[in-house]
Structure 1
Amino acid sequence: MSRFPRFLLGAASALALLAAAGGLAFWVGRVASLSPGPLETQRQVVVPRGGTETIAAALAEQGVIANPRFFALVAWLTRDAGPLRAAEFTFPAGVSLQDVLHILREGRAVQHRLTIPEGLTARQIGSLIAGAEALRGEMPAIDEGEVLPETYAYQRDDERAALVRRAEAAMSRALADAWKARAPDLPLATPREALILASIIERETGKPEERARVAAVFINRLRRGMPLQADSTVAYAAADGGVLDRPLSRADLERDSPFNTYRRSGLPPAPIASPGRETLRAATRPDTTDELYFVADGTGGHAFARTLEEHNRNVARWREGRQGGAGAAGGAAGGGAAGGGAAGGRP
């Protein structure tokens, strides 16, 4: 055999060995990438920006992967599957390298949730959002009543201002929907007035089944030109826009404030809290009643009355239930100025 054919035979043998070695390496790498990883328990990991090496280092530090270099190699070999994303992800225990890469490329980032309860003031809502650790950025100013109480999903490092804008847009939509479906002939001229009334209702009762009935009392009073005499508005004024941490006093009821609905007729100039969707509906579609008064009944709800005489009896029963404690100086929706009865809004 000539030297040339022998050379070809040697070259072919070398190529075959290289191919076999490459196939073996691929098979070994494939098996390794499918094998369970070192993570002992499910963990949420913040994957940083900065490229494959930075991501590999973070995952190794959190115990998700064992070998950052092997991770980087497999990520490069599978780069056609898509880029690696920086976000917060949940990795299950024993997650394989292949699944780690799949999560980084196609998995859903961790969803955090912030619940804004009904009836909070702007200050309380601001503190709640400012204290959400997964959010970042400065806390913007919030106008009273402009944020819809709801549960909001967000991802780590979302801006606080962006969440506030979402909550404000949600309130605008909810108020528009309630106003569009409002009952005819309401003594409310604008959606803003409906929002103000709803905020009072939200603070006056914590029972969902009472909302439309409480709304009817206030609507009836507005129609007759009677002061609302809502303790919640007086408490808002006494706390300078916050939440009062003491019972109302006679001085509170006599304080000259546009929010004092014992001294001023009509609605106050602005909301006193953020009402929820159902309370917006109650304010714009109240029950049909001729009731003008309500007072706490000692069980978390209220006793309603059509006349002052009936209301005074309810007040007397409430006082007896308190074993003689008079509590606040006046009554929600008509107690104080109309005959004196302790009652109030929500705490």
Structure 2
Amino acid sequence: MKRWLLSAAAALLLAGCAETAPEDATIVIPAGASVARAGTILEEAGVISSSAFRTQLRLFGGDAPIKPGEYAIKAGMSAGDIVKMMQDGDVVLRMVTVPEGMPSIMVYERLMANEELSGKVDIPAEGSVLPDSYAYTKGEAREAVLKRMQAAMDREFDKLWATRTARSAVKDRNAALTLASIVEKETSVPAERRTVAGVYTNRLAIGMRLQADPTIIYPITKGKPLGRRILKSEIQAVNGYNTYSMAGLPKGPIANPGRDSLAAVLDPEANDYLYFVAQGDGSHIFARTLSEHNRNVQKWYALRRGRGEM
């Protein structure tokens, strides 16, 4: 009789393990949640009973822990399927992307506009965020996501700083991020970044003003597009950022530079260019002398007039 009772108990346990999810559901297992808490979350969501989940994990789950995150449960999934999913960490991937050169005000706006995140954040320091795509969990704090973005920049900067060559004009983190942010805003062509960095390195070496248009715009819009032509008064403005009215670097970054722009200013191309101007296809043409540059500028103006832009 005792053997029969044990077999009946085992049968009940196995029957519980055979429970399946009646419909699709999404659940979130918070960091630090116990097995009991995870089972309660599943039961409250109407997925499977807490006892079925705990029994499956105890009998067949082995030693692997369940991992926190957001899980998409499909109708018909068994307790075993759900345990395996959670042990494998097969979470729903939700991503927030910071493009290269995005200013911090727009990083802030992107985080605040994401209704799947919670809480508030302040506008991060310019240049403190590494452009990349970041995974997050529904309901996660915006502050936690921002901290990951900033920690990623810290790690990447430390790694790249070790590659700095003697030719680089930057001597500290602020200078590196500042010059990299200018390079980032001046060209979107990856192959040009070290060349542009070389131009600015040459200018800094001889005390020539950088004259980078994005440094005019930043104090006006905090890095957002200006949406119109730059005014003469804005070219002449003195504000700590405008490199038309001051020699040297601005007082800080004007955007969040990406890995390639950071690498470029730490190891700039060894060239003798001092000037560059757009060619109309997103790339630039470089010049060594002012007379050569002026000819290139006239070609650019002619192209713009042909497009009806001037």
TM range (shorter): 0.7 to 0.9
1:74 is the counterpart of 2:43: no
8 A contact 1:220–1:290 mirrored in 2 = yes
Per the normalisation by structure 2, the TM-score is 0.84
Residue 305 of structure 1 and its aligned partner are, at CA, apart by 0.8
Q: Give the Cα–Cα distance (whole angstroms) in 2 for the partners of residues 318 and 280 of structure 1.
A: 28
| Aligned CA distance change for structure 1 residues 99 and 321 (closer, same or farther; 3 Å) | same
- How far did 1:177 drift? 2.8
Q: Percent of counterpart pairs with the same letter?
A: 36
1:221 alignment partner AA: R
Matched, 1:34 2:18: yes
Query: Which shows bigger deviation, 240-249 or 256-265?
Result: 240-249
Q: Does 1:292 align with 2:274?
A: yes
CA contact (8 A) 1:113 1:153 kept: yes
User: Do residues 139 (structure 1) and 139 (structure 2) align?
Assistant: no
Which residue of structure 2 lines up, in the alignment, with residue 196 of structure 1?
Answer: 178
Q: Which residue of 1 aligns with 2:205?
A: 223
SS in 2 for 1:197: helix
In 2, the alpha carbon distance for the partners of 1:129 and 1:196 equals 23
Q: Where does residue 57 of structure 1 map in the other structure?
A: 44
Change (3 A) 1:186 1:24: closer
State the one-letter code of the partner of 2:170.
L
SS of alignment partner, residue 138 of structure 2: coil
Partners of 2:152 and 2:307 in 1: how far apart? 42
Q: Tell me the C-alpha RMSD between the 2 structures.
A: 3.0
Question: Equivalents in 2 of 1:322, 1:227: separation in Å?
Answer: 26
- Deviation of 1:262 after TM superposition, in Å, equals 0.9
Which of 311, 315, 340 is the matching residue for 2:297?
315
Call closer, same or farther: CA 1:306–1:229 in 2, change over 3 Å: same
Aligned counterparts of 1:163 and 1:181: Cα–Cα separation in 2? 28
Give the TM-score taking structure 1 as reference length.
0.76
The offset of 1:311, in angstroms, is 0.8
Which residue of structure 1 aligns with residue 251 of structure 2?
Answer: 269
Distance 2:83 2:170 in 1: 58
What are the residue-to-residue correspondences of 1:228-247 with 2, within 5 Å?
A: 228-247=210-229
What is residue 178 of structure 1 aligned with on the other side?
A: 160
CA distance in structure 2 between the aligned counterparts of 1:173 and 1:97, rounded to whole angstroms: 40
Partner of 2:285: 303
Q: Which residue of 1 is the match for residue 192 of structure 2?
A: 210
Write the distance in 1 (CA, Å) between the matches of 2:220 and 2:122.
25
- State the shift of 1:84 in Å: 7.7
Residue of structure 2 equivalent to 1:333: none
Structure 2 counterpart of 1:255, one-letter code:
A
> Would you say how many aligned residue pairs link Structure 1 and Structure 2?
301
Which residue identity is paired with 1:74?
A
AA matched with 1:56? E
1:294-345 CA distances to partner (integer Å, 9 max, x unpaired)? 11101111111111111111111111111267969xxxxxxxxxxxxxxxxx
Q: Distance in 1 between matches of 2:131 and 2:223?
A: 18
Contact 2:19 2:79 in 1 (8 A): yes
Q: Which moved more, 1:201-210 or 1:171-180?
A: 171-180
Cα distance in 2 between the residues matched to 1:85 and 1:303: 52
After TM superposition, give the deviation of residue 248 of structure 1 in Å. Answer: 1.5
5+ residue gaps, structure 1: 1-14, 66-70, 329-347
CA distance in 1, matches of 2:95, 2:84: 24
Amino acid at match of 1:89: Y
Inter-partner Cα distance in structure 2 for 1:270 and 1:264: 14
Conserved? CA contact 1:261–1:268, under 8 Å: yes
Instruction: Work out whether residues 118 and 141 of structure 2, in 8 Å CA contact, stay in contact via their aligned partners in 1.
Output: yes
